[in-house]
Amino acid sequence: MELAAPRTVQKSEMLGTQHIAIREDLWPVVVYTISDNSTDDEWIAMFTHYTACYRRAVRFCPITDATPVTKVISASTRHMIAKLAKEHETQSKRWILESTVVVRNGVIRGAMTAINWLAPPAYPIAFVATLPEAFAHAVASLERDGRDVPAAVRRLAVPPR
């Protein structure tokens, strides 16, 4: 059975109520841009999107761009995200090469680290300060896995420090 080609998502196209953007045009890298206003329903929809990625049966590198985030996610939302991550553990372990989270703010980075303490991921995860660093992690992961790296992803990457 042949899988459909990844859908190209314009950077301005958003998921849900416009608080989580998904960029798929760099497949096998997927960029999720979250905001302060991301709702629980949008987080659930984001994890549903992960399920669609797993169905492609191709290992990939998600990048969560949290640079627009300026405040800590509520405890109840962090708990829900941890629960969703745990539910996805078997599939994520199989299909995610490495996840990278872009967080500039140290307090927010700490909150995201806490999510990982509640539900440690079954795959490698890195926290970085910039998107170019995140793309560099994706390039390195894809290369270690013997995968082709799209030229557009290489252009967005800088060597990790």
Residues 33-91: pLDDT tens digits?
Answer: 998 888 898 899 899 999 999 999 999 999 999 998 888 788 899 889 888 988 999 99
3-state SS record for the chain? CCCCCCCCCCCCCEECCCCEEEEEEECCEEEEEECCCCCHHHHHHHHHHHHHHHHCCCCEEEEEECCCCCCCCCHHHHHHHHHHHHHCHHHHHHHECCEEEECCCHHHHHHHHHHHHHCCCCCCEEEECCHHHHHHHHHHHHHHCCCCCCHHHHHHCCCCC
For residue 17, the model assigns a pLDDT of: 44
Higher pLDDT, 141 or 160: 141
The pLDDT tens digits for 125-155 are: 988 889 999 999 999 999 999 999 999 999 9
